[in-house]
């Protein structure tokens, strides 16, 4: 009898179904992973809702994958059966486009993306390119590692690549799936950490996560509050609200940076004078390569940084995805597997 595995696949835009699939074997340069945990990310909507151009169905979503290697394909070196590994958004580069030729693999024009250009982690097993693997630290659980492979590495890289120094004032806009990790990273990296969110009730959580200061944007002007603190050397914009991102430019110090990681299709309105006066800047940051993912997980393990998660069995993935889209997750939902 042919072996099978369970998976959640998108059969057509908007339709998630639990299915049985025939067991797959890895090809040259690939490995088969026994999935132990798979995060649900808002970017999964690109495949579930049919927003990614040229996508083919059926497709298994998921780009926050943590598990163990169970089969090595031909030509794979440096990895062994049983290794604990993770796979994030980055699933492989073409190595031919200009960004690749310059070593900027994460911005590959023909980037392979887990759960979009190939099947992802909403499944008991997944086949991936060995070059997409990141080693999970021994003292990091799979359910904690999964969200760090996307939300974690995104906020981690954004802060460590911003040219900041310990003691700089760093504000995190939004205390959600990205922001609650951003606050932890900022504090552990030695920055004077300010959390910005709507509602006085979020202050306790923000301070528990490591914020030195809290700004309730519903009760005070965050720009004036930041200026009263001396101005932010960087603001990490994690909440996908361009209406709240743009005005924050005024709260930056001289040569301060607004770093955007919260994805939105909406246009951001900015005042050019706020950029010119003070030589301020805006930049974006997107995920990272496998070595970046390893760095994010290693730093998290060393500094006791963990995502706040809800564990959901694979069969309930459609309901969990719907809750995430309604912004009801607190803060990352992770699929688990009964046999694991």
The CATH number of whichever domain residue 175 belongs to comes to 3.40.50.720
CA distance 176 to 151: 10
Together in a domain, 116 and 213: no
Together in a domain, 9 and 69: yes
Together in a domain, 245 and 118: no
Burial class (CB in 10 A: 0-12, 13-18, 19+), 9: buried
Contacts 24+ apart (CB under 8 A), 164-168: 164/189, 164/191, 164/233, 164/234, 166/190, 166/191, 167/191, 167/192, 168/192, 168/233, 168/234
**pLDDT for the residue numbered 340:** 45
CA distance 112 to 195: 34
**pLDDT for the residue numbered 265:** 78
Domain count, the chain: 2
Domain end (from 284, 304, 327): 284
Which CATH number belongs to the domain containing residue 78 in this structure? 3.90.180.10
Tell me whether residue 173 is in a domain: yes
Together in a domain, 94 and 189: no
- Residue 218: give the domain boundaries: 162-284
Together in a domain, 97 and 141: yes
**pLDDT for the residue numbered 243:** 85
CA distance 282 to 259: 6
Tell me whether residue 132 is in a domain: yes
Together in a domain, 138 and 172: no
Give the number of other CB atoms < 10 A from CB of residue 94. 14
Together in a domain, 274 and 332: no
Find, among 183, 193, 188, 189, the residue nearest to 163 by Cα: 189
Domain end (from 267, 284, 301): 284
Tell me whether residue 156 is in a domain: no
Together in a domain, 129 and 172: no
CB 209 within 8 A of CB 174: no
Distance of CA 148 to the CA centre of its chain: 6
Domain end (from 245, 266, 284): 284
**pLDDT for the residue numbered 339:** 56
Together in a domain, 56 and 174: no
Tell me whether residue 193 is in a domain: yes
**pLDDT for the residue numbered 38:** 98
Question: Number of helices and strands (H, E) in the chain?
Answer: 11, 17
Tell me whether residue 259 is in a domain: yes
**pLDDT for the residue numbered 338:** 74
To the question of pTM greater than 0.85 for the whole model, the response is yes
Together in a domain, 44 and 104: yes
**Which parts of the chain register pLDDT below 70?**
339-340
Together in a domain, 178 and 91: no
Together in a domain, 128 and 201: no
218-260 pLDDT, tens digit per residue, is 999 999 999 999 999 999 999 888 888 989 999 999 999 999 9
Tell me whether residue 155 is in a domain: no
């Amino acid at each position: 009898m042919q072996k099978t595995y369970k998976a959640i696949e998108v059969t057509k835009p908007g339709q998630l179904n639990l299915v049985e699939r025939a067991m797959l074997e890895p090809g040259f340069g690939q490995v088969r992973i026994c999935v132990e945990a798979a995060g649900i990310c808002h970017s999964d909507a690109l495949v579930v809702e049919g927003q990614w151009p040229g996508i083919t169905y059926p497709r298994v979503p998921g780009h926050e994958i943590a598990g163990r290697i169970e089969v090595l394909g031909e030509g794979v070196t440096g990895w062994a059966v049983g290794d604990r590994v993770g796979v994030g958004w980055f699933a492989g580069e073409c190595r031919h486009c200009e960004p690749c030729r310059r070593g900027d693999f994460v911005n590959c024009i023909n980037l392979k993306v887990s759960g979009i250009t190939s099947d992802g982690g909403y499944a008991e097993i997944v086949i991936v390119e060995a070059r997409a693997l990141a080693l999970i630290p021994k003292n990091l659980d799979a359910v904690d590692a999964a969200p760090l492979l996307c939300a974690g590495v995104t906020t981690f890289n954004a802060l460590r690549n911003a040219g900041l120094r310990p003691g700089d004032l760093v504000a995190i806009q939004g205390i959600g799936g990205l922001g609650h990790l951003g606050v932890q990273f900022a504090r552990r990296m030695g920055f004077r950490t300010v959390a910005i969110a709507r509602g006085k009730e979020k202050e306790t959580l923000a301070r528990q996560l490591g914020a030195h200061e809290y700004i309730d944007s519903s009760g005070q002007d965050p720009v004036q509050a930041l200026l009263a603190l001396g101005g932010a050397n960087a603001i990490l914009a994690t909440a996908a609200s361009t209406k709240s991102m743009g005005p924050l430019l005024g709260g930056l110090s001289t040569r301060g940076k607004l770093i955007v990681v919260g994805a939105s299709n909406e246009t951001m309105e900015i005042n050019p004078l706020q950029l010119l006066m003070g030589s301020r800047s805006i930049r974006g940051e997107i995920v990272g390569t496998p070595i970046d993912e390893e760095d994010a997980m290693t730093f998290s393990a060393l500094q006791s940084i963990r995502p706040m998660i809800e564990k959901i069995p694979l069969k309930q993935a459609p309901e969990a995805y719907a809750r995430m889209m309604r912004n009801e997750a607190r803060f990352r939902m992770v699929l688990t597997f009964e046999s694991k």
